[in-house]
Amino acid sequence: MPKIDPERLLNDLRHLRSFGATGPGVVRLSLSAVDMDARRWLAGRMTEAGLDASIDGVGTVFGRSRNAGPALLIGSHTDTQPTGGWLDGALGVIYGLEIARALGECEETREFAVDVASWIDEEGTFSGFLGSRSFTGEPVDEAIRNARNRDGLLLADALGHAGLAATPRVLIDRARHKAYLEPHIEQGGRLEAHGKSIGVVTTIVGIRELRLRFTGQRNHAGTTPMSIRRDAGAALVAFIARMDEAFRQLADADTVWTVGRIELDPGSFSVVPGAAELHLQFRDASAERLRAMESALAGLVRDFNAREKVSVAIAGSEPPEEPVTMDAALQTHLAHAAQALAPGAWEPMPSGASHDAQVLAHHVPACMLFVPSIGGVSHDFIEDTADAHIVLGCQVAARAAAEILRSLRA
């Protein structure tokens, strides 16, 4: 079986961390100068590992094995949130690099093909999952023309500044790429709470995002009696309580919902709000449960409008993301590797966060492996994972990669 080099793995992770290091965390937004520096360094490390490496026309770093297929593609992302952690995404990319090296150094597996990718803009600085969507042939031209970052910079201009405007985009080779593996930190506290070292992902949850608008009557806060008020802010708060109760009746232990933003109009101490808006997101691994939650929400809106002096309407929604199930055979390979190297210290689990794997899974069998996040923290400067868990996770992924490729070649 191939053996990873723990020191080489950790040194590469720490060096990647230096690009955009900010205290214990990293600020490395897609297509920024420091992000491009990191991508050029990564392409160099891939080349040193014997891969044919390039940065494509949207910014994805792609390392192609010189071995003939079938190939296992391993990847994640190296861009970060505006206040990002050092392992989110980066762990999976460096795992891929180390696994490619480890398999190449092992007599049993040196002919196996491992391709490695660092997808651009998983975090959505311009357009979420841009790299994996481009790779799988999904339409991204409109996003390239029109998407902007929070400073107003057009994606097309950012690609021009990075010297990528005329560079070809890498595309999936369906005759070659037969499976996809994305290792990642958990970004939650489940593994740590259960005393486990490895998570084998079963499903990436579906997501619903909506805006609810409450319409009342703006009025003077000192002279308007409570009995006649049509207070949109108070109605919003009451609605959240009813929604919370309704969702709890439908939820299981992994169902989550969040009111991430509340806006009051006009937002003054001395004015009864005449309008209010909330931004709601809910996630679940079950498409049936997501539909039940949507139905319950619609029923609450109808009931609220029939009973209250303030009206509520669903004012807008983002396109739904449906749950994506990871390939069963690939899950089995991960589970066997985990049991061999961490007996009893792994568990199957859903991913509550979105990942490039959900894009790839529509085009090639895909799987994910998790390692614990200390304190369950991610998307923050203090995000961290113990070195022992990083090393164990990579060895489990390398063993699984060898078995996946062995089965594909058979």
Sequence letter at residue 34: V
Domain coordinates of the chain in residue numbers? 6-205+323-409, 206-317
114 in Cβ contact with 96 (< 8 Å): yes
Longest CA pairwise span in the chain (Å): 84
Give the number of other CB atoms < 10 A from CB of residue 330: 24
pTM of the model: 0.93
Q: Which pLDDT belongs to residue 99?
A: 98
Backbone phi and psi for residue 325, each to the nearest 5 degrees, phi listed first: -90, 135
Q: Give the pLDDT score at 298.
A: 98
Identical fold, 6-205+323-409 and 206-317 = no
Q: What is the pLDDT of residue 295?
A: 98
CA distance 42 to 47: 9
Separation between Cα atoms, residue 98 and residue 92, nearest integer Å: 10
Residue 193 to residue 189: CA distance in whole angstroms: 6
CATH code of 206-317, in short, is 3.30.70.360
DSSP E strands in 172-243: the ranges are 177-185, 198-204, 206-215, 219-220
d(CA 149, CA 362): 27
- pLDDT tens over the chain, length 410 residues: 899 999 999 999 999 999 999 999 999 999 999 999 999 999 999 999 999 999 999 999 999 999 998 999 999 999 999 999 999 999 999 999 999 999 999 999 999 999 999 999 999 999 999 999 999 999 999 999 999 999 999 999 999 999 999 999 999 999 999 999 999 999 999 999 999 999 999 999 999 999 999 999 999 999 999 999 999 999 999 999 999 999 999 999 999 999 999 999 999 999 999 999 999 999 999 999 999 999 999 999 999 999 999 999 999 889 999 999 999 999 999 999 999 999 999 999 999 999 999 999 999 999 999 999 999 999 999 999 999 999 999 999 999 999 999 999 99
> What's the sign of the alpha-carbon dihedral 383, 387, 393, 397?
positive
- Say what the alpha-carbon torsion angle 163, 167, 173, 177 is, to the nearest 10 degrees: -10
| pLDDT given for residue 376 in this prediction | 96
Predicted confidence at residue 78, as pLDDT, reads 98
Phi, psi of 284 (to 5 degrees): -165, 155
* Rounded-to-integer distance, Cα 95 and Cα 75, Å: 8
Look at the block and give the residue holding tokens 């806006």: 263
Q: List, as residue ranges, the binding site.
A: 77, 88, 123, 184, 379
Count of helix runs (H) and strand runs (E) in the chain: 12, 17
Binding residues for Zn(2+), as ranges, are 77, 88, 123, 184, 379
Query: What is the C-alpha separation between 36 and 21, in angstroms, rounded?
Result: 14
The CATH number assigned to the domain with range 6-205+323-409 reads 3.40.630.10
Helix (H, G, I), strand (E, B) or coil at 245: helix
Res 57: pLDDT: 98
Instruction: Note the pLDDT of residue 147.
Output: 97
